[in-house]
Amino acid sequence: MPSMVQNGPRNNPQAQKPHSNFPNKPRNPNSMARRERIKRQRESLPIASVKELLVEEVKTHDILIIVGETGSGKTTQLPQFLFNAGFCCDGKVIGITQPRRVAAVSVAKRVAEECEVELGQKVGYSIRFDDKTSSFTRIKYMTDGLLLREALLDPYLSRYSVIIVDEAHERTVHTDVLLGLLKNVHNVRSNFIKDHDNMDDKKSNNRTMKGKGTGTQCTSFLKHCHGRKFPPLKLIIMSASLDARVFSDYFGCARAIHIEGRQHHVDILYAFHPEPDYLDATLVTIFQIHLEETPGDILVFLTGQEEIESVERLVQEQLHKLPEANRKLLTVPIFSSLPSEQQMRVFMPASPGHRKVILATNIAETSLTIPGIKYVIDPGFVKARSYDPVKGMESLIIVPTSKAQALQRSGRAGREGPGKCFRLYPECEFEKLEDSTKPEIKRCNLSNVILQLKALGVDDIIGFDFMEKPPRAAIIKSLEHLFLLGALTDDCKLSEPIGHQMARLPLDPIYSKALILASQFNCLEEMLITVAMLSVESIFYAPREKKDEARTAMKCFASPDGDHLTLVNVYRAVDRLLEKRKMEVVNEKNLHGKNEKFLRNWCKENFINGRSLRHACDIHSQIRGHVEQMGLCISSCGDDHLQFRRCLAASFFFNAALKQPEGTYRALASGQVVQIHPSSVLFQSKAECIIFNELVQTTNKYIRNLTRIDYLWLTELAPHYYAMQS
Ligand code: CDP
Ligand code: MG
């Protein structure tokens, strides 16, 4: 029987033990040995030999680009070097941004351990919906998106003496926007110091402090910093790829330095023929390595949580068919929404005699360096965002990796010794790959970014100093989108109160607007649950071989109105269950642990993804906190589902689709022909008009997360859009 929560403490006794090596706790021989091992590892990292040189470089250059091979120690060591060199005097903080949540969390944990402090004290992390920092935190890891949000409250980032933008080569949309913002902040802070040093009367000299395109920010900066003194900001851009030139050029020929890494030989093996099903090919390769190759862990690159969990189950099943002696294979998943306590398991060695197979998204390409990897399996795909500005549609598509990504992936096999990389496509296909990945800013919906820039006082989006300009059509479409959501005024300023409220919520603008509307429709309780459940990857799972059972289980929660109410039903069922249990077992010891187990079993029986559910619960409590702070009225529509569906129509009116005579649907905004995804409760329903939240493109265009609505509601609830169209 496949198990949803695999490889728990039973298989890996170290997996859930907290580290006990904080200074005030008694030291046991195990933690002493670990401490020694970590010390030796740190000393042997390539970066260790250039420590003094690096610190000098940072002291002499305000902006520095550091390029170094993955695993050379940039992310974990450089902040510690700078801390020890006195960059945090006066209580200032060293901030390190990561494109990915998992990297921010796992690196912060590692560095806290290396510094022998409790996480959240000197070393901490802060990511959306999870903050482990305190007033004592001096080395702070965070996502780039989070630092952007901080800039809303503190536009000149005055708490930071150093900001390190890590993994800049990933060129996520947040990284690109952050670089533009930091360039401004850097100019302003440097100019302020010059100004402050040179003139006694600051008030008379506003103009000299303006950096390129920073008019509004400088003004807000001046307002805040009047009479205060800030050190200039040290800005460090770190990247794993070799193209430092683009960053250096952008920052006015900033100094770039390279850190040599160590790389052993990696044998690259290609498939003879294209694989029709790369998941099957992955499974076969895992077992081929496991049964035929010498010891060493395997790293597999997959495209997302669903794929990872499906391969995880298939591996478990295959293992049960093998003789006992061949079953020593441990699967460990790693993807960005994995709860943080489970993320650290990738770094734990497997028990003696066991081989570990890590099933990862492209997070393991450069953001995380996992020790012990000798074999890499690269099916050659990645999930990427894609935006069509003409249709105004964003979708997630699975696309081939770039050559640069393929090289990064294979490099993971040669960090500690010679390794092998199995590319599951023929060699001739490699030559056809793009050299590098297109920056995300050129292929995504920009509404979120524009909302944040507007909230930061950057009004001229087209004139903003982006490292690479997003397509003009995408900017205009996204402005139009925000305008239709009511976030912008006629002259493209953030509207009051809606635009400002939307910018405060850490959500996609369309979800923020849904919450604001829901308070007016008296169904904010339901919408909070919906938004939380939609923020995680699928709540339901249906293993290939148990599709029918999974479907039957889903029927217990299914609402004839659609997936949104179905998700609400699941959430409420869990709530009721835990409430009932609380009444029944008041005096039990270790209630929390037992509840966890109870819930795990319940999820398994009901084909619910426990990990996603737990993540959704966390998100729910966080956004509930936000809307409470904003003073929105939280009430439930009870059984009046009509009210909730009308609110969904008013919120997601962009994504409405009408049934066609032949059974497919036509998206009203884009005219695209789409089909209902088989995972939807409305699959094979006769609904005439629906709204949806997600468009997934495989061979077909599928829409997911749907609710039945009345076509007439669209003109009633979104007349500014539909009256305009007709
Ligand atoms: O940033 P860069 O890729 O240069 O390296 P890093 O992330 O600082 O990693 C340096 C070393 O720390 C690697 O050998 C990792 O294996 C180790 N490390 C670890 O054991 N556990 C972590 N959570 C992070 C890093
Ligand atoms: Mg790194």
CB distance 336 to ligand 1 below 6 Å: no
User: Of the candidates 438, 472, 507, which is a domain's last residue?
Assistant: 438
Q: Is there a single domain that holds both residue 231 and residue 200?
A: yes
User: Of the candidates 377, 411, 438, which is a domain's last residue?
Assistant: 438
CB distance 19 to ligand 1 below 6 Å: no
Give the distance (Å) from ligand 1 centre to CA of residue 77: 9
Residues of the domain holding 192: 50-259
pTM of the model: 0.82
Whether 715 is in a domain gets the answer no
Give the distance (Å) from ligand 2 centre to CA of residue 431: 28
Output 536 or 570, whichever has higher pLDDT.
570
Could you report the predicted ipTM of this complex, rounded to two decimals?
Answer: 0.99
Q: Is there a single domain that holds both residue 248 and residue 344?
A: no
User: Of the candidates 397, 416, 438, which is a domain's last residue?
Assistant: 438
Whether 317 is in a domain gets the answer yes
Q: Is there a single domain that holds both residue 232 and residue 285?
A: no
**Atom 17, ligand 1: which residue's CA is nearest?**
369
**Atom 18, ligand 1: which residue's CA is nearest?**
369
Whether 509 is in a domain gets the answer no
Question: Residue 257: helix, strand or coil by DSSP?
Answer: strand
Q: Is there a single domain that holds both residue 176 and residue 198?
A: yes
Whether 242 is in a domain gets the answer yes
CB distance 678 to ligand 1 below 6 Å: no
For the CA of 97, the nearest ligand: 2
Contact (Cβ atoms closer than 8 angstroms) between residue 392 and residue 477: yes
For the CA of 72, the nearest ligand: 1
Q: In CATH, what number is assigned to the domain containing residue 194?
A: 3.40.50.300
| CA pair distance 223, 203, nearest whole angstrom | 10
Give the distance (Å) from ligand 2 centre to CA of residue 494: 36
Q: Is there a single domain that holds both residue 425 and residue 402?
A: yes
pLDDT digits 0-9 by tens, 503-525: 999 899 999 999 999 999 999 99
pLDDT digits 0-9 by tens, 434-447: 998 889 999 998 99
Give the distance (Å) from ligand 2 centre to CA of residue 133: 20
Q: Is there a single domain that holds both residue 133 and residue 219?
A: yes
Whether 691 is in a domain gets the answer no
| CA pair distance 509, 499, nearest whole angstrom | 9
Whether 117 is in a domain gets the answer yes
Give the distance (Å) from ligand 1 centre to CA of residue 73: 6
CB distance 74 to ligand 1 below 6 Å: yes
Q: Is there a single domain that holds both residue 398 and residue 307?
A: yes
CB distance 48 to ligand 1 below 6 Å: no
Instruction: Look over the chain and give the mean of its residue pLDDT values, rounded to a whole number.
Output: 86
Residues, beta carbon < 5 Å, ion ligand 2: 75
Q: Is there a single domain that holds both residue 276 and residue 141?
A: no
Whether 408 is in a domain gets the answer yes
Q: Is there a single domain that holds both residue 327 and residue 237?
A: no
pLDDT digits 0-9 by tens, 601-644: 999 999 998 888 988 998 999 999 999 999 999 999 998 999 99
CB distance 133 to ligand 1 below 6 Å: no
Whether 511 is in a domain gets the answer no
CB distance 71 to ligand 1 below 6 Å: yes
CB distance 72 to ligand 1 below 6 Å: yes
For the CA of 110, the nearest ligand: 1
Give the distance (Å) from ligand 1 centre to CA of residue 619: 29
340: which residues sit within 8 A by CB, 6+ positions away? Answer: 102, 105, 106, 130
Q: Which among 369, 374, 415 is the best mutation to test ligand 1's pocket, defined by most ligand atoms within 8 Å of the CB? A: 369
pLDDT band at 226 (very low <50, low <70, confident <90, very high): very low
Q: How much of the chain, in percent, has pLDDT values that exceed 70? A: 88
Our separate counts of H helices and E strands in the chain read: 26, 21
Q: How far is CA 7 from the centre of its chain?
A: 24
Predicted confidence at residue 342, as pLDDT, reads: 75
Predicted confidence at residue 611, as pLDDT, reads: 84
Predicted confidence at residue 397, as pLDDT, reads: 87
Omega of the bond leading into 497 within 30 degrees of 0 (cis): yes
Residues 669-696 have a mean pLDDT of 91
Q: Is there a single domain that holds both residue 341 and residue 220?
A: no
Q: Is there a single domain that holds both residue 208 and residue 237?
A: yes
**Atom 10, ligand 1: which residue's CA is nearest?**
73
For 399, the enclosing helix (H) or strand (E) is strand 393-400
Q: Is there a single domain that holds both residue 248 and residue 274?
A: no
Total number of domains constituting the chain: 2
